[in-house]
């Protein structure tokens, strides 16, 4: 019979050994939180190591992800497909134990937590997803969605500004099945945090509307007293009215004779000699990576997890019999499959936009797309950072999540928190989330957008007011470098449509960009849909041209005399509102003896992913007379126009003035495009 401390010491030993083998990592936090983790995983967490994807499992997130050996030890000991060989290769190339937890790499990892605080934000998304799915699918006598989200957080997580944004929302939304455990060890990389972190965390979270759990004496829970930890977690999970924060006082590097309680144990291996002394102090008489069978047996959660899932499967079978349509829809959504009528609906709407040819701002075209697609996509969960009337992200069937069975989230002015919560919503399953703000404010959200792409998560980030075309608000609100910045994020697809047709296609492909995992790899991910404030003209197209929009770039205007033999052949590449300028310029030039092709390129990433034959057909290498036009930073377009080409765009910040004055002032005009083409045709 093993003791709790022995089971916790197994975590400590694996953490010490893994970090030492890599000579890199953070042993202190896993050693300090081992007792808390043992109680949570042994007495509270409902999960099945044999099926990490069971929909009604509790979610566990390590927001202080630098202590990743804690989670790897827990997964290994409890029976997940994470053998000891992987722990021995901690932080090594192609291992399943990277430096910070990564969702598609390691079985049992719920989200990729790197930058501090975002794991907490993702957890708010998990808890919100659970609450909304329960509202949508549970019926009297059939509580099939009923699970908790547990998240470990450290001082760094709570210092990051994102923690304020998401904790405030969690309290407002009354996410009673969210339980955060705060590792109050008082140490960060620079030393003792009391010199730079003096917040009253208890009062802060109470002010947010959280249930803050302290010890019986009113002080933080002793993070090394299993009975006290169990009692505190019991208080947190016994109520569902408020999210809970359990504040635990721990000793970082617990058990290390010379380094516990010090920053020396935070971010570096303890050293062979110190590990030997720590083993002696803990009474751990086993070699590196050696775990005795009786401790493995005590940790093994496969039997209990299998029984818990089987009991749920039996409940679901009864639910399926009583509510077959709801059960089928839940299974479809959890699998990430789109409705049977999706393709028909999307194709019909795109065709309608091409037929009707509305001249509208692309943000309005976006709302029209939502009106068309929303009714057939119950999994679509929208939201905006206090800009819904400007972003036009509320569609006819939108209902606030503050009411029953809602599908639209009012995030308030919290762009970073909003985007990171959306990542959690996507990872939970059952939803395709979209969020929205002005393009210039994507700077506030950018790290969460980067995580969307890195995870990857099926999130749609909507950005409106996409250029100096927003007018009088001036340079603080006029994005210049933002399109290029977002395009630089690997696996992120940025769409800047030219009219209602391209807007509809952008929404279609973003909705379809499902994430699929392949062993350690994943495909799919986020999309950024970038829309205008100003009205955009409709562009006539053939059916073939409409079909080619999905490829990211296509020939929109083609003169009969465009050929390698014609010395006056040229290509204009444009996006968004500037496609209209390109079309006007080409019409003028072509009527005066030139042969100018116009390429609309709403998504450079999608275009770059096409076969070389297609790309060559759109941008032939023989035609070096190229001009790009986009009301954004000009530097991005060098890869498409080359050294011999020119780009019409922005080289400075914008200014406050009416739109027509701004385009003229900054030289983004039909005349400027014509002159640029003439200068490159030789």
- The residues annotated with a catalytic role in the active site are 415
CB 447 within 8 A of CB 492: no
Alpha-carbon torsion, ordered 369, 371, 374, 380, to 10 deg: 70
Pairing of strands 178-184, 149-154: parallel
The CA distance from 208 to 514, in Å, is 35
Distance of CA 539 to the CA centre of its chain: 33
**Cβ–Cβ under 8 Å, residues 383 and 132:** no
**Best CA proximity match to 549, nearest among 513, 497, 591:** 497
Half-sphere exposure of 574 (CA within 13 A, CB side): 28
Give the three-state DSSP class for 603. Answer: coil
Q: Which residues contact 111 (CB under 8 A, 6 or more apart)?
A: 61, 101, 103, 119, 122, 126, 423, 424, 427, 455
Q: How far apart are CA 289 and CA 300, in angstroms?
A: 17
In terms of Cα–Cα distance, which of 173, 90, 76, 81 is closest to 134? Answer: 173
Q: Which helix (H) or strand (E) holds 555?
A: strand 554-557
What does the alpha-carbon distance between residue 224 and residue 202 come to, in Å, rounded to a whole number? 20
Distance of alpha carbon 477 from alpha carbon 627, whole angstroms? 27
Yes or no: say if 529 and 489 are a contact pair by the CB < 8 Å rule.
no
Query: Two tokens at 472?
Result: 């009088």
Q: How far apart are CA 37 and CA 45, in angstroms?
A: 10
512 in helix, strand or coil?
Answer: helix
Contact predicate 477/402, CB 8 Å: no
DSSP codes, 440-468 = GGHHHHHHHHHHHHHTT---EEEEES-SG
343: Cβ contacts below 8 Å, ≥ 6 apart = none
Phi-psi region of 429 (alpha: psi -120 to 50; beta: other; left: phi over 0): left
How far is CA 375 from its chain centroid?
24
Cα angle for residues 294, 299, 305 (degrees, 5° grid): 135
CB 556 within 8 A of CB 598: yes
CA distances from residue 363 to 48, 357, 386, 460, 503 in whole angstroms, order as listed? 44, 15, 16, 14, 8
Quick check: helix, strand or coil at residue 292?
A: coil
């Amino acid at each position: 019979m093993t003791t709790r401390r022995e089971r916790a010491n197994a975590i400590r030993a694996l953490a010490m050994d893994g970090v030492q083998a890599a000579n890199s990592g953070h042993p202190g936090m896993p050693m300090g939180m081992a007792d808390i983790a043992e109680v949570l995983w042994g007495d509270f967490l409902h999960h099945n190591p044999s099926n990490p994807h069971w929909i009604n499992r509790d979610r566990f997130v390590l927001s202080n992800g630098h202590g990743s050996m804690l989670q790897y030890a827990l997964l290994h000991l409890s029976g997940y497909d994470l053998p000891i060989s992987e722990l021995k290769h901690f932080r090594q190339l192609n291992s399943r134990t990277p430096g910070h937890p990564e969702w598609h790499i390691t079985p049992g990892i719920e989200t990729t937590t790197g930058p501090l605080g975002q794991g907490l934000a993702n957890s708010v998304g998990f808890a919100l997803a659970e609450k909304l799915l329960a509202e949508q699918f549970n019926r009297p006598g059939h509580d099939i969605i009923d699970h908790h989200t547990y998240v470990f957080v450290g001082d760094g997580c709570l210092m990051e500004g994102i923690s304020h944004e998401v904790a405030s929302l969690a309290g407002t939304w009354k996410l009673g099945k969210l339980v955060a455990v705060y590792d109050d060890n008082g140490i960060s990389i620079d030393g003792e945090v009391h010199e730079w972190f003096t917040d009253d965390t208890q009062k802060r979270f109470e002010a947010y509307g959280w249930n803050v759990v302290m010890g019986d004496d009113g002080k933080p829970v002793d993070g090394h007293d299993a009975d006290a930890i169990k009692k505190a977690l019991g208080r947190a999970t016994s109520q569902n009215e408020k999210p809970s924060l359990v504040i635990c006082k721990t000793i970082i590097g617990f058990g290390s004779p010379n380094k516990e309680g010090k920053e020396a144990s935070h971010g570096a291996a303890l050293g062979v000699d110190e590990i030997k002394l720590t083993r002696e102090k803990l009474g751990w008489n086993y070699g590196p990576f050696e775990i005795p069978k009786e401790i493995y047996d005590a940790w093994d959660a496969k039997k209990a997890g299998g029984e818990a899932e089987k009991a749920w499967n039996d409940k679901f079978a009864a639910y399926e019999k009583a509510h077959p349509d709801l059960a089928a829809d839940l299974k479809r959504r959890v699998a990430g499959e789109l409705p049977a009528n999706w393709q028909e609906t999307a194709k019909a709407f795109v065709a309608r936009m091409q037929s009707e040819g509305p001249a509208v701002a692309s943000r309005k075209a976006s709302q029209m797309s939502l009106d068309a697609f929303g009714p057939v996509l119950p999994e679509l969960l929208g939201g905006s950072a206090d800009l819904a009337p400007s972003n036009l992200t509320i569609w006819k069937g939108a209902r606030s999540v503050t009411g029953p069975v809602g599908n639209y989230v009012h995030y308030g002015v919290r762009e970073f928190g909003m985007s990171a919560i959306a990542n959690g919503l996507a990872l939970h399953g059952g939803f395709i989330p979209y969020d929205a703000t002005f393009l210039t404010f994507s700077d506030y959200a950018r790290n969460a957008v980067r995580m969307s792409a890195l995870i990857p998560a099926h999130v749609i980030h909507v950005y409106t007011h996409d250029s100096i075309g927003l007018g009088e608000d001036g340079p603080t609100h006029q994005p210049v470098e933002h399109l290029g910045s977002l395009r630089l994020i690997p696996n992120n697809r940025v769409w800047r449509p030219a009219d209602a047709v391209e807007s509809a296609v952008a929404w279609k492909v973003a909705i379809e960009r499902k994430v699929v995992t392949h062993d350690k790899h994943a495909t799919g991910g986020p999309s950024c849909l970038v829309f205008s404030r100003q009205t955009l003209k409709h562009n006539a197209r053939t059916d073939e041209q409409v079909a080619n929009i999905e490829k990211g770039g296509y020939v929109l205007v083609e003169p009969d005399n465009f050929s390698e033999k014609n010395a006056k052949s040229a290509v204009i590449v444009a996006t968004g509102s500037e496609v209209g300028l390109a079309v006007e310029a080409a019409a003028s030039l072509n009527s005066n003896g030139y042969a100018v092709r116009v390429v609309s390129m709403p998504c450079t990433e999608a275009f770059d992913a096409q076969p070389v034959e297609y790309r060559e057909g759109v941008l032939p290498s023989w035609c070096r007379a190229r001009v790009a036009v986009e009301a954004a930073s000009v530097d991005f377009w060098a890869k498409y126009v080359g050294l011999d080409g020119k780009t019409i765009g922005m080289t400075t910040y914008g200014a406050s003035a009416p739109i027509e004055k701004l385009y003229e002032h900054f030289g983004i005009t039909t005349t400027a495009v014509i002159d640029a083409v003439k200068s490159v045709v030789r």
